């Protein structure tokens, strides 16, 4: 987990704002989360897409938690 601590905040935030929200109108991650809540996230490509767009946000949460714990 030390690599998360060494990763600059600017890179993590940039990843969230670009990959995490792309395409921007409406944010794709929001559509996938709605599909998950409605039980319509059934195809493997949809799951991959959710993980792909959620990864920067998960990284942001992990980095934030590590920073607060330290």
CB 13 within 8 A of CB 60: yes
Q: Tell how far CA 47 is from the center of its chain.
A: 13
pLDDT tens digits for range 11-28: 999 999 999 888 878 888
pLDDT tens digits for range 17-61: 999 888 878 888 898 999 999 999 999 999 999 999 999 999 999
> What is the residue range of 18's domain?
2-69
Domain count, the chain: 1
Whole-prediction pTM: 0.84
Q: Which two tokens stand for residue 60?
A: 């942001």
Taking alpha carbons only, the member of 61, 57, 67 closest to residue 18 is 57
Alpha carbons 6 and 51: distance in angstroms, whole number:
23
Residue 2 has a CB neighbour count (10 Å cut-off) of 7
Task: Tell me the average pLDDT across 4-13.
Answer: 93
């Amino acid at each position: 987990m030390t690599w998360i601590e060494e990763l600059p905040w600017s890179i993590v935030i940039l990843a969230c704002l670009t990959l995490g929200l792309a395409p921007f109108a409406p944010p794709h991650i929001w559509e996938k989360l709605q599909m998950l809540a409605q039980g319509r996230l059934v195809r493997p490509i949809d799951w991959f897409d959710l993980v792909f767009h959620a990864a920067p946000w998960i990284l942001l949460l992990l980095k934030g938690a590590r920073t607060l714990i330290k």
